[in-house]
Amino acid sequence: MSPAKDTQKKGKSAPAKVKASEVFSAEEKAAMREAAKERRAAGTKEEQEKAVLEKIEEMQEPDRAMARRVHAIIKANAPSLSPKLWYGMPAYARDDTVVCFFQPALKFKARYSTLGFNNDAHLDEGNFWPVAYALIELTPAEEARIIELVKKAVS
């Protein structure tokens, strides 16, 4: 029996070759292109914040309104973080390392926007804690929670 038939007989198959174009969605590819462009164009803090604000203005509602509010909350409550674009999304970094970011729902055709935190955010609680939060609407209660999270993240 040939090795190929022997493999098939045991219920195993040779790994299928996957084309690079099939690995990432169009949205993921666009985000990677944006990240490469951002790295080449990184400018002053003022230029980076301007780029973030421009990206927010390009968003559709309700993402735009939420991103504006999240931006204001982070600027007011975590002044040590600098706005910058990260994979085409508004992000906030300390020493050029992204601590948190806002992912608009429409960017990846999701049903909710996301406020996410990376490894440098000080949100650790034991052995298990959330690092991303779904946002459908920003009410005063959600805003208060974001303020708590952002302050803790930079503490």
CA-closest candidate to residue 77, choices 155, 152, 150? 150
CA-closest candidate to residue 62, choices 29, 110, 98? 110
The tens place of each residue's pLDDT in the chain, 155 residues long, gives 555 554 455 555 656 666 656 788 887 787 777 766 666 556 788 899 999 999 999 999 999 999 999 999 999 999 999 999 999 999 999 998 999 999 999 988 999 999 999 999 999 999 999 999 999 999 999 999 999 999 999 99
Does the N-terminal peptide bond of residue 62 adopt cis geometry, omega within 30 degrees of 0?
A: yes
Residues 87, 30: Cα–Cα separation, whole Å? 8
CA-closest candidate to residue 143, choices 132, 135, 155? 135
What is the separation of C-alpha 151 from the centre of its chain, rounded to a whole number of angstroms?
19
Q: Any residues with CB less than 8 A from the CB of 37 and at least 6 apart, and which?
A: none
Q: Any residues with CB less than 8 A from the CB of 87 and at least 6 apart, and which?
A: 31, 32, 34, 35, 38
